[in-house]
Structure 1
Amino acid sequence: MDEVQMLVAHSERVTLRVGDVFLKVDVDQARIDAEVEAIALVPVPTPKILWHKPPVLAIAAVPGTALGRLGEPSTASPAAWAAAGAAIRKLHDAPLPPRRGRAGRDVDELTAELDGECEWLVTNGVLPVGLVTRNRQIAEAALRPWDPAFTHGDLQIAHVFVDGDEITGIIDWSEAGQGDALFDLATLTLGHEEHLGDVVAGYGTDIDLDVIRAWWSLRSLLVVRWLIEHGFDPFAPGCEVDVLRSRL
């Protein structure tokens, strides 16, 4: 053990790394409970839970390296991206967990939240009205009925670990639960549209690509304010604002 690394730190949660152990401190006990519950249920590789004493969860590091990072080119092979798609399909086909997750928000509630965020972005001059309006139009395709699946709920590429072409672990299950399967696929490929075909090939079923693209717009519109308020930069190259601009 050489040092303590602070990986994530904001008002809601902190994640520290000490050697091969990750310590997650979360003010919302429900998120920790959801993570423990999901790791026990999912049919894909996950980190080992070492101990759990609220509000702290200790988990072991998984082998391999992250599939990529938002805003950076991914060095992972097409086969690794396809393997991620296959793992997600296995997750989505698993028996439903008892709780609803982040990807399972009610359509009316989600629509109201989206409209509120769009108004805030325009009123405060954060983004041009044309950019917000166009992406709000695209996002509409994601606001539809969906069949529930076992979803991860925060399937960023940094949460999927690979060794060569094999998936070695998927981390950060605090938002897991019943939800829209296409939300997971869109989150994984956000900012990495060039790998969408590989993921879909691994997933192995027909996917409505317009809904995936709609989720890219919807998710990006929803998180810009949160990112700014919590010290992150959605304007960084390749990140959320660039995703919105790419839809024009």
Structure 2
Amino acid sequence: MDEVEVVVAHSERATLRVGDMFLKVDADRGRLDTEVEAMTLAPVPTPEILWHKPPVLALAAVPGTALGRLGKPSTASPAAWAAAGAVIRKLHDAPLPSRLGRTGKSSEELAAELDGECEWLVANGVLPAELVTRNRRVAEAVLRPWTPAFTHGDLQIAHVFLDGDEITGIIDWSEAGRGDALFDLAVLTLGHEEHLGDVVAGYGGDVDLDVIRGWWSLRSLLAIRWLLGHGFDPFAPGCEVDVLRSRL
């Protein structure tokens, strides 16, 4: 019998791997429904859906290896990073997913959430006030009008798989919806700033790099409390706190 590997597990959801099958268990049925719908609509490589019986979704493993991991150097070539940018462009150019309920937060909502998290980080001694204040200023670049696109919503580097320089699949679509295209590019390159140029070259068109840097700061500031509360370490080398320090 194949061993059961726990890929990720916390109080909200868990992902298990058994052989070439992944089992996703989620307390929020809506997230699994979103994932199934997004993979059906997305014009990019996605995992094969084997079956869906809430609260469990079974997916076939995607061939290849992840583009990289947060906190670790990526061994993927510049061409592979550019290929990832090209695939993301194809997603963002697709028709808006009208059947998906998730829409990116407004600038006002983001600003309010950001202010609350910054206050919590400083008041609880999690981060120095200077570090938080500097990144709060950098994050303001995100707070501007934007045109909705079909976005993945959680395009971490570990969610993009490749074989050689070819993208074989993008996984974990539970946050997909109508969002800010530059958020996807920022999440992919979080902690891997050295590959931003390759991604943008593959993506094509004008990309506001200040907005991407703003998303690096904003996402990191907003994520730290959640990560600490769910057993993850944002202080690990190359992870969220180091991303914030790189803005100083």
Equivalent residues in 2 for 1:121-200 (5 A)? 121-200=121-200
Alignment check: 8 A CA contact 1:101 1:151 kept:
no
1:36 aligns with 2:36: yes
Alignment check: 8 A CA contact 1:157 1:188 kept:
yes
* Aligned counterparts of 2:102 and 2:9: Cα–Cα separation in 1: 22
Question: 1:100 offset after TM fit, Å?
Answer: 4.6
Question: 1:193 offset after TM fit, Å?
Answer: 0.2
Give the root-mean-square deviation of aligned CA atoms. 0.8
> Which consecutive aligned stretches of 4+ in structure 1 deviate over 3 angstroms post-superposition?
none
* Aligned counterparts of 1:205 and 1:59: Cα–Cα separation in 2: 34
Amino acid of the residue matched to residue 138 of structure 1?
V
* Aligned counterparts of 1:143 and 1:27: Cα–Cα separation in 2: 31
1:101 aligns with 2:102: yes
* Aligned counterparts of 1:62 and 1:220: Cα–Cα separation in 2: 28
Provide the TM-score with structure 1 as the length reference.
0.98
* Aligned counterparts of 1:100 and 1:41: Cα–Cα separation in 2: 14
1:14 aligns with 2:14: yes
Question: 1:106 offset after TM fit, Å?
Answer: 1.8
Question: 1:130 offset after TM fit, Å?
Answer: 0.2
* Aligned counterparts of 2:131 and 2:106: Cα–Cα separation in 1: 25
Give the aligned partner of residue 203 of structure 1: 203
Alignment check: 8 A CA contact 1:71 1:191 kept:
yes
Equivalent residues in 2 for 1:102-121 (5 A)? 104-121=104-121
Question: 1:2 offset after TM fit, Å?
Answer: 2.7
Q: Which runs of 5+ in 2 are unaligned?
A: none
Secondary structure of residue in 2 paired with 1:70? coil
* Aligned counterparts of 1:101 and 1:220: Cα–Cα separation in 2: 21
Give the aligned partner of residue 85 of structure 1: 85
1:229 aligns with 2:229: yes
* Aligned counterparts of 1:143 and 1:106: Cα–Cα separation in 2: 8
Provide the TM-score with structure 2 as the length reference.
0.98
* Aligned counterparts of 1:100 and 1:91: Cα–Cα separation in 2: 17
* Aligned counterparts of 1:143 and 1:187: Cα–Cα separation in 2: 16
Alignment check: 8 A CA contact 1:101 1:153 kept:
no
* Aligned counterparts of 2:38 and 2:107: Cα–Cα separation in 1: 24
The Cα offsets for residues 84-142 of structure 1, whole Å up to 9 and x where unpaired, read as: 0000000000000023536x112211111111000000000000000000000000000
* Aligned counterparts of 1:219 and 1:101: Cα–Cα separation in 2: 18
After superposition, the Cα gap between the structure-2 partners of 1:100 and 1:107, relative to the gap in structure 1 and judged at 3 Å, is: farther
